[in-house]
């Protein structure tokens, strides 16, 4: 088991430009899933409920402002995203399918934030025609949910250490969002308390 040191925690939330952002959801999560067969749909729904229950955060049927605020899009290849109504407005990223295609990406995650810095919405796009094609649905669901709980700066691997970090970040004594890397020290302290 790899120890979650303050330095390791800080690295998870430090972006390419050196800025730090650790934000959690500030409102109940209202998920919607597009492009999955029914049997996989149940797996993902269960994973979302379980993941946020572990974090101690509520999952709701709808968000009063947006209807759904955690949106998962599954496509075989990126050009299929062009058929999503108002995709440019939804993402704020014109030409997203073309850019993902050009980058050879398998997945893409986009966060929107409330005024207090908490996560307002998360959009996840997954291309199932490439490297993800052979993924086990339960393992993929767990990974997608974990990566959607906090504003991780890059890809993270699902596991017990990450699950413990997520739970610590949702502790009510910590702010809903932090932009100072000293916050990683507080997260490490919460983890130590929980382990103690």
DSSP labels for 127-166?
Answer: ETTTGGGG--HHHHHHHHHHHHHB--SS----SHHHHHHH
Residues 103-158: tens digit of each pLDDT: 999 999 999 999 999 999 999 999 999 889 888 999 999 999 999 999 999 989 88
Q: What is the pLDDT of residue 1?
A: 47
What domains lie within the chain, and their CATH numbers? 1-24+154-196 (no CATH), 25-149 (3.30.379)
Residues of the chain with pLDDT under 50: 1
pTM comes to 0.93
Query: Dihedral angle at the C-alpha atoms of 101, 133, 31, 29, nearest 10 degrees?
Result: -90
Cβ–Cβ < 8 Å for 71, 29: no
Among candidates 132, 150, 156, which has minimal Cα distance to 36? 132
3-state helix, strand, coil in the chain (%, to 5): 45, 20, 35
């Amino acid at each position: 088991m790899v120890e979650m040191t303050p330095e390791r925690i800080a690295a998870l939330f430090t972006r390419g430009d050196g800025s730090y952002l650790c934000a959690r959801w500030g409102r109940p999560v209202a998920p919607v899933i597009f492009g999955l067969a029914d049997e996989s749909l149940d797996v993902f729904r269960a994973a979302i409920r379980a993941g946020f229950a572990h974090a101690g955060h509520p999952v709701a049927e709808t968000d009063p402002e947006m209807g759904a605020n955690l949106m998962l899009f599954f496509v075989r290849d990126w050009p299929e995203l062009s058929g999503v109504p108002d995709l440019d407005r939804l993402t704020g990223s014109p030409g997203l399918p073309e850019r993902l295609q050009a980058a050879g990406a398998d997945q893409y995650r986009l966060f929107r934030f409330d005024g207090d810095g908490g996560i307002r919405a998360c959009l996840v796009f997954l291309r199932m025609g490439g490297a993800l094609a052979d993924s086990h649905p339960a393992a993929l669901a767990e990974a997608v949910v974990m990566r959607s709980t906090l504003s991780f700066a890059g890809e993270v691997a699902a596991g017990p250490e990450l699950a413990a970090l997520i739970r610590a970040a949702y502790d009510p004594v910590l702010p809903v969002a932090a932009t100072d890397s000293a916050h990683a020290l507080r997260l490490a302290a919460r983890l130590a308390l929980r382990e103690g």
